[in-house]
Amino acid sequence: MLDDFMTRATLAGIGVAIAAAPLGCFVVWRRMAYFGDATAHAAILGVALSLTLEMSIFPGVMAVALIMALTVTLLAGRGYAMDTLLGVLAHSALAFGLVAVSFLSGVRIDLMAYLFGDILAVSRSDLLVIWGGAGLVVALIAWRWSALLTSTLNEELAYAADLDPKREQLILTLCLAVTVAVAIKVVGVLLIAAMLIIPAAAARSLARTPEAMALIAAVIGGVSAASGLRAAYLFDTPAGPSIVCVAAVFFALFSLLGWHSRRDA
Q: Give the pLDDT score at 35.
A: 79
Distances (CA, A) of 99 to 57, 111, 173: 17, 11, 26
> How many Cβ atoms sit within 10 Å of the Cβ of residue 51?
16
Q: Give the pLDDT score at 235.
A: 92
Q: Give the pLDDT score at 185.
A: 82
Q: Give the pLDDT score at 1.
A: 47
Angle at 208 between CA 165 and CA 223, to 5 degrees: 95
**Cβ–Cβ < 8 Å for 148, 32:** no
Burial class (CB in 10 A: 0-12, 13-18, 19+), 166: exposed
**Cβ–Cβ < 8 Å for 51, 101:** yes
pLDDT tens per residue across all 265 residues of the chain:
455 888 999 999 999 999 998 899 999 998 887 777 888 888 888 888 888 888 888 888 888 888 887 887 777 666 667 778 778 888 888 888 888 878 877 666 677 888 888 888 898 899 999 999 999 999 999 999 999 999 988 888 899 889 998 888 888 888 988 998 889 888 888 889 899 999 999 999 889 899 999 999 999 999 999 999 999 989 999 999 999 999 999 999 998 887 766 666 5
Burial class (CB in 10 A: 0-12, 13-18, 19+), 59: middle
Distances (CA, A) of 251 to 23, 163, 211, 231, 239: 17, 34, 19, 18, 19
Per DSSP, the three-state class of 28 is helix
**Cβ–Cβ < 8 Å for 57, 184:** yes
Q: Give the pLDDT score at 260.
A: 67
Cα Rg of the chain, angstroms: 18
Provide CB contacts within 8 A for 253, sequence distance 6+: none
Calpha distance 56→185 (Å, rounded): 12
